[in-house]
Amino acid sequence: MITSIIFRTALAANSLAIIVHLLTNWIDNVSLFMLLAFQTVIVSGYYINKIVTQVIASIDKELNDVDIIIRKKQALS
């Protein structure tokens, strides 16, 4: 949750910087390409974070299921 907020805030700030650049043209082209590259890093990091979070949640669910099965077998013994 917190990482999602951080990624979205960074994305919004970088998008604002790109918009300001395009409206005022106060940054040179190299800086614009750096902003666009940073935008790509933020977006890909956001989606990688989502995927990793889902994988970890899935593994945690499977481990909980295994733990429940082990406890049931121990209770029957």
Q: What are the angstrom distances between the C-alpha of 22 and each of 12, 15, 25, 34, 70?
A: 15, 11, 5, 14, 61
pLDDT digits (tens, 9 = 90+) for 28-43: 777 778 888 888 888 8
Domain range annotation of the chain: 2-76
Least confident of 25-29, 35-39, 63-67: 25-29
Determine if the pTM surpasses 0.95. no
